Structure formats: C-alpha cells, structure tokens
Structure 1
C-alpha cells in the first residue's frame, strides 16, 4: 500500500534543502515523490494510507555507523562474551525509538550470522556488523578478555567477513584494548574488586588510571607513589589499598593490550586501502599520533576517526587532532556517548568544540557502558544552541553517513525520489521526540509505539 505523509516540514538530509511544507509519497519501499504543493495525494494510485504530519518534521532515518550491544555475537573489540538476549533487545529498541533505522555494530569480531541467532529474533531496524579480523586485533582482544571468541572467530579474515556481508572495517582498538571508557566502567573496577574486595565507581577508576598512566597511557607520565597516595585519599580509598598495589592492578588491566592494539591500526589501514571499505578507528589521546601518521601514509585508506570527542582529549586538543586528520583525508566522527543529556561520566565540552569548529562529518552514539544518548538529542541540542542550521545538523546522521559508508547505506539517507523509504517523523519543536518510523516504506513505529 502507498503511504502519503502529508503537510510536514521536510528536511532532505543533503545538508541544505528544506521544504517548509510538503507531502512525501512512499510506494514499493521507495520514496516516489516529494511535493511542495501538499496535494500529492491527488496523484497517488489510490488505496494510499494518509498520515498527517502537520506540526512535524520529516527526515531520513538515522544511520548510526558506530554502535555496540546490538548483536548476539562477541561483544566489543575485546571479544567479550555476547550480551544476553534481553539486553540486546533493549538496546535495539532504544535505538529504533530514537529514530535509528540503520545501525552498524562495530564490535568487530562477530560474524553476520551472529546478528540474530534465531530468525524469530530479527528486529525491524537494519543491523550490520564490521570486521577487525586481523592478527593483532585478535591478539589484543585475547590480552584483555576474548571470552566470546571461538576458533572460527580466531581464524577468520577480513576478506571472509566482507564476503559474508560485513559493511565496514573496525572498530580498530577500543575502550577495552586502549585504556578508554570500558576500562573505567568495567575492567579496572572488576580487577580492583577481584584483588582487593573494594568497589570503585567509574569516575574513580578514571582518576586512578590517569594518575598512574597519564592521558597518553605512558607509565613514565604517572605520578609518584606519594602523589598516588594523595589521590587515593581524594578518592576516599586512603588506608584501604596501597599505592604500589593499585598501580600494579591498573597497569596490569590496561597495558597488556595497548601495543598490540596499536599494531592493529596499521593492519586495518592497509586493509582499507586494499579493499576500499571505510574503517572505523578508536580516536583518543593515546592513539591520535598513530592515526595521524596512518592517514598520511595510507592516503587512499578510508579512515573514520571514531568518537573524536573522546574524553581523554582536552577540547583544544580534540579540535587540533581533528584538523590534522581532516587535512589528511580522514572522516571526523563524534559520538553522543552519555554527554548530551545523561552526563553519567562524560560532559559535552569536546562535542561542542568539534561541532563549532566545523570539522565534524558524522554523528554516532558509541556505547558509553549502555548509557548513550540519542543522536536526535544531540541534533536538537545543536539546533537549540545555534551551532549549525537544522539541515546541516541532520545531514551529519543521514546523508553524510550514507555517502561515507556506501556499502552500509548508499541507497538511503535522503528524502529523495528513488531512495529507500527510511523515514522519521518527529516533533518539529524537538526532533528527539520521535513519533513515527518507517523502514523500507513499512511503518515500524507509529505514535511512539513499536509495532
């Protein structure tokens, strides 16, 4: 059946085009027409389902090219055990209700057949995997965890995964293997609890990690034992554990995988240059110099600098690194993390600095321990702060992503005749309030309810 979305404000996703009032005709899973006369229903072939979109904004479905926790195979670049089915379903539903219609799960070590292990568990959102199946990336995972990896994961190659339907390379490195957020909210607290019986919050784990290893994961940059004792006191741990012991616990949790994970950067840059697929890299203070060097040495590699607003950067540093990467042809991605409205561990300083610099190409969510904020929450904030015009902000999560990830989303990302009808209808006053979602022309969310 044809669908006509009537009398909405249409923002096409190309970065500039807005139709203040228009109809959108959907037929056969595609966008068949966009009509500013708002009389499109007169030219439909009859039997159309008319949906009033007045007071709403019609945009392309969100394409999230950096997410985790939405598949049933090995999780994260650490190859950890799969999340349980209820967690996967919850994460998927959150993304869908936030307007995401296409999602790339970049844990990197799962197979396409592990997106769903039973057909009955299929989800209306389009979900794909990436591949980081190279020697050093697999070894880095094993150095941290690897509990979800079987022999076939350990023996797989990027060519094998691409032939089976992986849509990108990466994520190369991660918070687990390169001392990022996952070390702070999972691995360091787990190690401290296991070895001392002490429970520490992620914010405390971050402070201890930075004191012991510095922002660049260089143990020589760490503080003295005396200064570390003072930091333990500041964290409320005075007398509970000695500086020498906590130094060993944190170092042994973070450092074994770091050099191997960095070696994996070059493997994936080389693969991207060879096969022509985009490659998502963990961009953070400890990896920035390596990533800039790779962008220079592999100019035809399609490097995507993931979460370039990573909290390990200072704001000015994040902008400087993004500028150097952009000059060398890399794509600059920022992630919502939990910094837009949740503010669990991260704040919005680096995100704002990069948006205002004009260097950002795409917006994703990443994972943030499962506490990520929605992409449309970020776009609403960008508009409220007048950092970008609405068409430019929406393109960061639609048309731009489709262009940069053609294997993932080349047939969608625009409200344009002939494109796949992945469409979101949202409240014009606050785009993060998603009313309706259509995927390939099929309604999957209506009036805020998953069908």
Structure 2
C-alpha cells in the first residue's frame, strides 16, 4: 500500500456518513479501501507512508468551483491583465493550505493553457478553467477593461474551449461588469482617485454606488441630487465635489457593461443546455430576474446561481430568490467571500439565512478582492452554530460539488473505493484547521506546511 491514514474520524462526503474512527488505504493515487472497524492486533498493513490522524478527521479535499486569480490568463470577467506570478502563487497556496484540492478558476476568458505559471512546476492542486467566450460577454469585458485579452482570447468559442480542456461555462456576469464587488473595491475608487486625488474605501464606494444607481442598477432608483449631496457629506465628500459630478463618475464606471453582461446570461444558458456542461452565473440584485428567466427558458441546463448570498440582497430577498431558483432547477451556491472572519466588506447575515433555510447545494470562496475566507471556515461556522451536521456541511464542498461538475470532479469528492485519493485531515474540534493534504495519493501538505 502506498499510503495509509489511520486513527482519525472519517466524513465520506456523501452528506450523511461519519465514522468516529476509520482507516483509509491508498494505492496508485486512488482509494483502495476504507475500514471503519477497529483493526485487529497485528493487522497493520505495510505502507510506504502513513499518516496518524489521531485527534483529527479525514474528509475529501475541498472542491472549490468558484474562484479567481489562480491562473496567468486574463483576470476576472472583465478580461483584465493577468495577475503577477507571485500573486498567483500566493493565491494558489492559500487555497491549498485551506484544504482545497480541486479548483475552478471562473474568470471565464482565459485559455486552458494559461493555468500553469511559466517556468514553474504545475501546482499540486488540480486547477481548471471555465469559458464565457460568447459575443456579449466578450464585449462587456472590453467595455470595462479588456487589457488582458489578445486576438486568440477574442476569437475563442465555447466549443473550442471545451475541446481544449475547459470544464464549465461562465462566470456569466461579474462584479466588474454587473456593478458588484470589484466596482466597489477597484473601479469606482480608481475613478474617484483619478478625478479628485481622493482615496475612498470599498464601503464608501458601495454607499455612493447605491445612492446613485440603487441596488438594482437602475438610475431611476437613485437618490435625488439634494439627497445625494447629503450622502456625499456623510461620506466625507463635503466641499470636494457636487452630486452631479459624482453621479456622472459612478454611472460611467458601472453602467456601460450592464446590458451587455445581462445579454450574456442568455448566451451562456443557451450554450450550457446545448453542450451539457454546467454554467456559473453571477447572482445578485441586478441580475436575479435575468437568471430566473434563463433557468425557466432552459430547463435542461445545469445552471449554478453563484454566490446567492451576495451582499446586494437583503436577507429575505436572498432567501426568496434562492428558493425560486431552486424550485425551477438551478443549483444554489453560496460563497464565503470575506464574510466569516475577515469582514472586510461583508458579513455572514445572508449566508446564515440561506443555510438556515436548507436550500444551499454547494459552497465556494469567490475572490473578495483577494481577501476570501476559506470554505472550511464557513463549514466550521455551520457546525458550530448547529445549522448542519458536520457530514452535511462537508458535502456542500465535496460530494455535492462533484455531482454538479462531473467533467471536473466526477472521480472525487467522496471517500470510497476507486475514487481519486484527494483527502484532507483536519482538527476534530475546529474543522477549519488543516493538518494534512493528500492529492492523487501524494502528501502535499504535512502538519500544516507545504511540501
């Protein structure tokens, strides 16, 4: 046997099964067997490597199907210039140390051959890409930024990308093209900095955006100029500029891509139904109605409502929209964002509300400007608050994800004979503390340290 993990508890990833003590056997990168009985004296099986999981729990590696920043191609749905190699390495290693073994980068406009960072070995994680190469999604990116897009990115198609190794469609829409988080922490602050030389926080940018355009990105929902001026004073802009000037800056930053991005929803849904691959959508207050319509129009497509706990929703909205989408056949995904421990821009209110309703299918991190909290931190929160059993919570990041994304993860996500041996060992008191990580049978993190 190549690897034996013994003496730990075991969560299999099916949403139900938990063994207080078990042994997992690994051969040739696959799970060779699982023994949940107390081994008889002298029954140890010889192994090249052994992990003693005493005080820990063995579970499948996290399958994170909504991330950004982990490849060297165009970044984000706006097709921005690639992240620097050092940033990509940092993001990847953070995910790995947080227990992720399979990762889907959903910027959407990068190529499969841009996964590997030049002049380095492939990362231990299995990193894959999605495709959003449809006319309106490409045009939405160009309107906002597009500086990372070359001729080959612009000429790519869904079929060519799937043939080259993409494993999903999307992300349709994004925080850049639909007035979401990236507008708040990047584009609006940069525009204000250029115009006035004044730095604004993401929270201030969000306040100004909502004051000008409302939560649904409809200028008719924005505040009147006198009330907007009051908001400017509240945000510390008194004497810097007037309401009309701020309204113009915010509108020019946010609105040009919105109609294009929403039209891209229809393209991605149609393509997902045609090709039979899952598709990820930006689910937020400005896009929820369009997503619901797409789900209704394409009932045979696997459409994933990404980050359904988006902060643009009020809690009751998040629940009612998620329940409506789920009743129509959509997959309900929630994202940690930065809402568990970091609390940079977001809090866990919407996440808690959706978990409490029982309508969540999968969990991911998204990006949160690079400040995301780990999936296991959210799982520990669910278990600690007694919202879900440990087995049910872990399934949101393992077995459930594997079922939704079979082209990417159909051979993993469960600890059972024949599955790929992607395994993690975590602390049995705090599931977010990762001790060991095994990918395809190889130990890549031992005692919390990268090997």
Same fold (TM over 0.5): yes
**2:73, 2:114 within 8 Å by CA — same for their partners in 1?**
yes
**1:175, 1:183 within 8 Å by CA — same for their partners in 2?**
yes
**2:130, 2:167 within 8 Å by CA — same for their partners in 1?**
yes
Distance 1:8 1:292 in 2: 44
Q: Give 3-state SS (helix, strand or coil) of 2:175's partner.
A: coil
1:108 Cα deviation (Å)?
A: 0.1
Tell me the equivalent position of 2:434.
434
Q: Give 3-state SS (helix, strand or coil) of 2:120's partner.
A: helix
Change (3 A) 1:40 1:128: farther
Tell me the equivalent position of 1:203.
203
Distance 2:43 2:228 in 1: 73
Distance 1:338 1:345 in 2: 7
Tell me the equivalent position of 1:271.
271
Distance 1:50 1:153 in 2: 45
Which string of whole-angstrom CA distances, capped at 9 and with x for unpartnered residues, describes residues 218-258 of structure 1? Answer: 00110011001100000011111111100000000000000
Tell me the equivalent position of 2:167.
167
Distance 1:50 1:309 in 2: 40
- Summarize the alignment of residues 231-250 of structure 1 with structure 2, pairs less than 5 Å apart: 231-250=231-250
Distance 1:376 1:346 in 2: 18
1:355 Cα deviation (Å)?
A: 0.4
1:121 Cα deviation (Å)?
A: 3.9
1:120 Cα deviation (Å)?
A: 2.2
**2:28, 2:441 within 8 Å by CA — same for their partners in 1?**
yes
Tell me the equivalent position of 1:142.
142
Tell me the equivalent position of 1:327.
327
Which string of whole-angstrom CA distances, capped at 9 and with x for unpartnered residues, describes residues 34-57 of structure 1? Answer: 101242896676344222111100
Which string of whole-angstrom CA distances, capped at 9 and with x for unpartnered residues, describes residues 356-390 of structure 1? Answer: 01000000000000000000000000000000011
Tell me the equivalent position of 1:215.
215
Which stretch of structure 1 is more off in the superposition, 21-30 or 119-128?
A: 119-128
Tell me the equivalent position of 2:115.
115
**1:72, 1:84 within 8 Å by CA — same for their partners in 2?**
yes
Which stretch of structure 1 is more off in the superposition, 40-49 or 334-343?
A: 40-49
Tell me the equivalent position of 2:381.
381
Distance 1:361 1:313 in 2: 18
**2:71, 2:117 within 8 Å by CA — same for their partners in 1?**
no
**1:24, 1:40 within 8 Å by CA — same for their partners in 2?**
no
Tell me the equivalent position of 1:21.
21
Tell me the equivalent position of 1:192.
192
Q: Give 3-state SS (helix, strand or coil) of 2:305's partner.
A: strand
**1:7, 1:38 within 8 Å by CA — same for their partners in 2?**
no
Unaligned runs of 5+ in 2: none
Distance 2:38 2:132 in 1: 47
Unaligned runs of 5+ in 1: none
**2:85, 2:117 within 8 Å by CA — same for their partners in 1?**
no
**1:6, 1:38 within 8 Å by CA — same for their partners in 2?**
no
1:294 Cα deviation (Å)?
A: 0.8
Tell me the equivalent position of 1:366.
366
Tell me the equivalent position of 2:258.
258
Distance 1:52 1:210 in 2: 52
Distance 1:358 1:394 in 2: 14
Distance 1:446 1:57 in 2: 14
Distance 1:383 1:404 in 2: 23
Which string of whole-angstrom CA distances, capped at 9 and with x for unpartnered residues, describes residues 37-78 of structure 1? Answer: 242896676344222111100000000000001000000000
- Summarize the alignment of residues 264-413 of structure 1 with structure 2, pairs less than 5 Å apart: 264-413=264-413
Which string of whole-angstrom CA distances, capped at 9 and with x for unpartnered residues, describes residues 92-126 of structure 1? Answer: 00000000000000000000100114252421011
1:199 Cα deviation (Å)?
A: 1.0
Change (3 A) 1:63 1:223: same
Number of corresponding residues: 451
1:312 Cα deviation (Å)?
A: 0.2
1:393 Cα deviation (Å)?
A: 0.2
1:306 Cα deviation (Å)?
A: 0.1
**1:2, 1:27 within 8 Å by CA — same for their partners in 2?**
yes
Tell me the equivalent position of 1:80.
80
Q: Give 3-state SS (helix, strand or coil) of 1:130's partner.
A: strand
Q: CA RMSD in A?
A: 1.1
Q: Give 3-state SS (helix, strand or coil) of 1:429's partner.
A: coil
Tell me the equivalent position of 1:100.
100
**2:211, 2:228 within 8 Å by CA — same for their partners in 1?**
yes
**1:363, 1:375 within 8 Å by CA — same for their partners in 2?**
yes
The TM-score, its normalising length taken from structure 1, stands at 0.99
The TM-score, its normalising length taken from structure 2, stands at 0.99
Distance 1:360 1:40 in 2: 41
Q: Give 3-state SS (helix, strand or coil) of 1:272's partner.
A: helix
